[in-house]
Amino acid sequence: MQRDPEAWDNPLEFQPERFMRDAGKVEYKGNNYNFLPFGSGRRICPGISLAEKMILYVVSTLLHSFEWNIPHGTTLDLSEKFGLVPKMQEPLIAVPIAKYSSSGHYL
């Protein structure tokens, strides 16, 4: 179904980055059927609007509930390596430390 060579370069290869190449030109909520694996038009994932709303609350809860540090003895290196999508030279490892001593604060 999603193997149309007119829509995709090398359609038989696993290339998840293909969805990021023209991300500004294509609206996944519209009727662009190149994004059919994710649903489109009337058949789009029904939970997408919930996910868009909930991500703000999930991230803010993580920031509020934990202190975030880097592992002891490491330095923070924000240098990037060149590529289709900018990536860090060294992966960022963040260690969460609970702010509250009682688990009842997290309910």
Is residue 45 a known part of a binding site? yes
Q: What is the pLDDT of residues 14-59, one digit of tens each?
A: 877 776 666 566 565 655 555 555 566 677 778 777 888 898 999 9
- State the Cα–Cα distance between residues 46 and 38, nearest whole angstrom: 11
Report yes or no: 69 and 34 within 8 Å, Cβ to Cβ: no
Structure tokens at 26: 């294509």
Element (H, E) at 54: helix 48-65
- Give 96's strand partners: 68
Q: State the pTM of this model.
A: 0.48
- State the Cα–Cα distance between residues 89 and 6, nearest whole angstrom: 35
